[in-house]
Amino acid sequence: MVPSKLKNSVAEILRQADVIVDGDRPWDVRVKNDRAYLKLLGGGSLGLGESYMAGDWECDRIDIAVDKIYRANLAQYITRNPRFILQAASAKLKNYGSKKEAFQVGEQHYDLGNDLYKAMLDSRMIYSCAYWKNAKNLEEAQEAKLDLICKKLHLKPGMTMLDIGGGWGGLAKFAAEKYGVTCTIVSVSKEQMKLAAELCKGLPVECKVQDYRDVTGLYDRVVSVGMFEHVSPKYYRTYMEVVKRCLKDDGLSLLHTIASKITDLNVDPWVHKYIFPNSVLPSLKLIAESSEKLFIIEDVHNFGPDYDTTLMAWYENFEKSWKGPLAEKYGETFYRMWRLYLLMCAGSFRSSELELYQVVLAPIGRTGTYQAVR
């Protein structure tokens, strides 16, 4: 039996964000099992996520609720929780991002199933923030993002490009076809590289299952899209040194990454356990510090709000495709987990709790003047 005082306490906290317990608006929370109250106050983000996966509470528009909660600064009630403090301390001590753990995120997340990602993403299977400035739909927005990256890198026919992360080969395929570039992709995801090799067949694109620290060779350009989130702060400098080692003296590198609005080395317990193991979000400060004395930061472009739009497009595709083979294969608990993941992230970008940066880096001593592209 959950005490009424505890229920009232949770309800009052949420009311500060205009989220009403058992209200009838799309962003209100409907409690189905009273243990949700205990999970929220006793288990932080992990308890909140697991109680939703278990069906203890419902919310039609989690994205709106999350946006409201962040804008009202209610996350403080979770971070004050003693269990959260212990989890945060443990995260700082753990050696996230080591070679031993590097392949775990590939196995748990990116190797989930190409059928899921084909259903959710655009035709090129681009699993990173799209660029919506002049786009009408997800397909146009993802192509605009790929072209934006190529233009920021000043790609020219005959150049070589290293893609660290690579996804399903969408960027490398686009660069090879549209800009005449020879590409090498390295990734910790076996399933992604298998499909990428098929999609890039006949093009000058090589796909390798490999940790970024083991890359050899020299390239005109180095790019990383949606991979730096998995590096871990302990290895940011190592990452930058690898890029510097692999980049020609007159080369350019582009880093596309989700980032925290503040420097925070904590690992979110629910995200770590169920979505992206060992992942820590960088801040712009940490990116700058890790590149110091190696690179000049030529350009920083923040289009975080575009990730909100991208995630909602993915969510719409996910919902439309769920019934049938996907539902039979993955099950109801996975559906609730994935729904929470997509909508929670959308709300986080909408509130600017999370940002999306594209950072162009040039080796110190590079000749010529960089012309920024928007």
User: Please, what is the average pLDDT of the chain?
Assistant: 91
Our measurement of the distance from residue 237's CA atom to the centroid of its chain's CA atoms, rounded to an integer in Å, reads 20
pLDDT at 87: 47
pLDDT of residue 102: 64
Phi/psi at 19 (5° precision): -115, 120
- pLDDT score of 39 more than 90: no
Which residues carry out catalysis? 345
**Assigned token pair, 352:** 């600017």
- pLDDT-derived band at 109, boundaries 50, 70, 90: confident
Rounded Cα distance between 157 and 204, Å, is 12
Q: What is the mean pLDDT of residues 148-161?
A: 98
> What pLDDT, on a 0 to 100 scale, did the predictor assign at position 110?
84
pLDDT higher at 264 or 302: 302
Dihedral sign from CA coordinates of 256, 260, 266, 269: negative
Residues 170 and 193 sit within 8 Å (Cβ to Cβ): no
Is the model's pLDDT at 242 over the cut of 80? yes
Q: How confident is the model at residue 96 (pLDDT cuts 50, 70, 90)?
A: low
3-state secondary structure of 206: strand
Q: Please determine, for residue 209, whether its predicted confidence score (pLDDT) is greater than 90.
A: yes
pTM of the model: 0.93
Give the pLDDT score at 14.
Answer: 93
Opening angle at CA 248, ends 243 and 253, nearest 5: 45
Higher pLDDT, 57 or 89: 57
At position 261, the amino acid (one-letter code) is: K
Higher pLDDT residue, 38 or 52? Answer: 52
If pLDDT is split at 50, 70 and 90, which confidence band does 264 have? confident
Q: Is residue 257 within 8 Å of residue 226, measured between CB atoms?
A: yes
**Cα separation of 363 and 296, whole Å?**
6
Q: Can you read off the two tokens belonging to residue 215?
A: 């890359």
Question: What band does 265 get if pLDDT is binned at 50, 70 and 90?
Answer: confident
Model confidence at 86, in pLDDT bands (50, 70, 90)?
A: very low
User: How far, in Å, CA of 306 to CA of 357, rounded?
Assistant: 11
CB count within 10 Å of CB 127 equals: 21
Reported as type and span, the H/E element at residue 197 is helix 190-199
Residue 89, pLDDT score:
47
pLDDT in the model for residue 31 = 96
Q: What percent of the chain has pLDDT over 70?
A: 93
Kindly state the tokens that stand for 178.
């549209």
What integer pLDDT is reported at residue 100 of this predicted model? 66
Asked if residue 373 has pLDDT above 60, the reply is yes
Confidence (pLDDT) at 43: 76
Contact at 8 Å (CB) between 213 and 236? no
In this predicted structure, what is the pLDDT of residue 206?
98
Contact between residue 178 and residue 200 where contact means Cβ atoms under 8 Å apart: no
The two three-digit tokens of residue 247, written as one number = 């980049």
* Residue 253 or 87, more confident: 253
Task: Check residue 335 and give its pLDDT.
Answer: 98
Secondary structure of 285-319 in the HEC alphabet? HHHHHHHCCCEEEEEEEECCHHHHHHHHHHHHHHH
Bridge partners of residue 137, in order along the sequence: none
The Cα 112–Cα 191 span in angstroms is 8
Domains of the chain (ranges; CATH) run 4-93 (no CATH), 104-363 (3.40.50.150)
The end-to-end CA distance of the chain, in Å, is: 57
Q: How confident is the model at residue 82 (pLDDT cuts 50, 70, 90)?
A: very low
pLDDT band at 45 (very low <50, low <70, confident <90, very high): confident
